[in-house]
Structure 1
């Protein structure tokens, strides 16, 4: 049986804590940066999270992680908002982002490009539709979901 990833374990432990606080678990990252490991848990709610939300989740999750001890090495736990460029991972994320400006990167080129930015106009289980503006001309681009390597909200300049 394959070993469970740290992010999956932490997500399973964090989800009941986050939901009990009336928040949404957006993402979990476990990364090495320099000599240190960082466990980052991103939370949100419609009106945005504040320092009290982050602190409450951090304290409860830290206690749970100490109890279960699923991570063999030392790490820094960070609980925060996903920020203005929130990742889009779950179907609900994409549905909520319809009408928003997004950044999409692909595994392989579609219409000769691997990166698109535009307004998400539609989403279903197989594809997403963007309205892309280039040199003053608007164009609709349909991207198969299985080609999406990463997606996030973007800030339009």
Structure 2
């Protein structure tokens, strides 16, 4: 997408996103058959839920329609709008990305070596990682793009089978299954 075209789209989309209290993380347009796909990634410190995505989609769609009704052709022909969050595979490059992933395990090139550690503290100047019990603080200038490492639930976080709440949840699931069978 040409830079000028992208800037025109950003001028329409970004005010809607920021007015909703979100950060615009990415905007891309790709051709899919005869249509275009406008993909927008948003995020916030509180995360992004499905209701927010639906509300933002309506607001962005309306803003694009208004801009095109005013004579500014932003996307030639039909397009599909997709709004969502960046996901865990997004590289952590800005302080807000690191802040939003506090307590997560990340892999990053730091000080010339690859490091895997848990994000324990973040400020405007640096990130502190717990690397096997050793706390290491790195300025953003010393860090490459970080990647969140997907972790399965830790054993200590799994529900205890002797826990009353666990048994009740199991009973409710069994009741739901019986109700579906008509018994």
1:155 is paired with a residue whose SS is coil
Q: Which has the larger radius of gyration?
A: 2
Superposition RMSD in Å: 3.7
Q: Closer, same or farther in 2 for the Cα pair 1:121/1:4, shift >3 Å?
A: farther
Residue ranges of structure 1 left out of the alignment (5+ in a row): none
Q: Deviations over 1:92-144 (max 9, x none)?
A: 3333433332343x4xx73433xx332112334443222223xxxx4444434
Question: Matched residues in 2 for 1:49 and 1:119: separation?
Answer: 25
Contact 1:57 1:79 in 2 (8 A): yes
Number of residue equivalences: 144
Contact 1:24 1:43 in 2 (8 A): yes
Q: Of the two structures, which has the highest relative contact order with CA contacts closer than 8 Å and spacing of 6 or more? A: 1
Q: Closer, same or farther in 2 for the Cα pair 1:122/1:71, shift >3 Å?
A: same
Identify the structure with the greater strand proportion.
1
Contact 1:26 1:82 in 2 (8 A): no
Identify the structure with the greater helix proportion.
2
2:61 aligned with 1:57, yes or no?
no
Residue ranges of structure 2 left out of the alignment (5+ in a row): 153-183
Scaled by the length of structure 1, what TM-score is found? 0.61
1:122 corresponds to: 121
Q: Closer, same or farther in 2 for the Cα pair 1:124/1:19, shift >3 Å?
A: closer
2:83 corresponds to: 79
Scaled by the length of structure 2, what TM-score is found? 0.55
Q: 1:79, CA displacement in angstroms? A: 0.3
1:13 is paired with a residue whose SS is helix
1:151 corresponds to: 146
2:40 corresponds to: 41
Q: 1:59, CA displacement in angstroms? A: 2.9
Q: Closer, same or farther in 2 for the Cα pair 1:121/1:47, shift >3 Å?
A: closer
Contact 1:43 1:49 in 2 (8 A): no
Question: Matched residues in 1 for 2:31 and 2:117: separation?
Answer: 31
